[in-house]
Amino acid sequence: MAFNEGYVYHSMSREERESLISRIRGILREYGVSLGIVFGSFVDLDEFRDIDIAVYGRGIDLNRVLSLGARLEEVLGIPVDVVSLMDVDPEFRLSILERGIVILEDVDGLYEALVSEALDELYLVRHEEDLVQ
């Protein structure tokens, strides 16, 4: 079986991607998301299978994430993976924050605060690992 068998890959112009991001941003606002970041193949490659979106905000629990993902897929017609920034390990969170594209930041300084928090958490985890060894 070929690696991409069964998957549909999408290719879009810059203008089409910007239009898609605008639609995503509007839906994120409807769901009370304070910070939204697109990352992964949608950002890094010319072709993508799905759109990865990291979100942060009050009341963004698993049910809200699942509901948001379903709504985005319904509207966009493209598979979407939504993840809460607080539900991923600090190394992955920092990678998303550093490599992704912020498409929504409704609270000034939130992005910087989350980067700082992830760096602090990584430092503590690594320092703790050094102490254990």
In a domain, 107, yes or no: yes
Q: CATH number, domain at 16?
A: 3.30.460.10
Strand order in the sheet with 35-39: 80-84, 51-56, 35-39, 101-105
* CA angle centred on 10, ends 7 and 11, rounded to 5°: 150
What is the pLDDT at residue 126?
A: 80
At 53-64, the pLDDT tens digits run 999 999 899 999
In a domain, 101, yes or no: yes
In a domain, 54, yes or no: yes
What's the total number of domains in the chain? 1
C-alpha distances (whole Å) from 45 to each of 9, 31, 39, 49, 92 are 11, 28, 10, 10, 19
Residue 127: pLDDT band by 50, 70, 90 thresholds? confident
Strand ranges for the chain from DSSP E: 10-11, 35-39, 47-48, 51-56, 80-84, 101-105
Pick left, alpha or beta for residue 110 (phi over 0 → left; psi -120 to 50 → alpha; otherwise beta).
alpha
Domain coverage including residue 61: 10-131
In a domain, 59, yes or no: yes
In a domain, 15, yes or no: yes
Residue 1 has pLDDT above 60, yes or no: no
Whole-model pTM?
A: 0.89
Cα(119)–Cα(124) distance, integer angstroms: 9
- Give residue 133's Cα distance to chain centre: 34
Residue 47: pLDDT band by 50, 70, 90 thresholds? very high
In a domain, 26, yes or no: yes
In a domain, 44, yes or no: yes
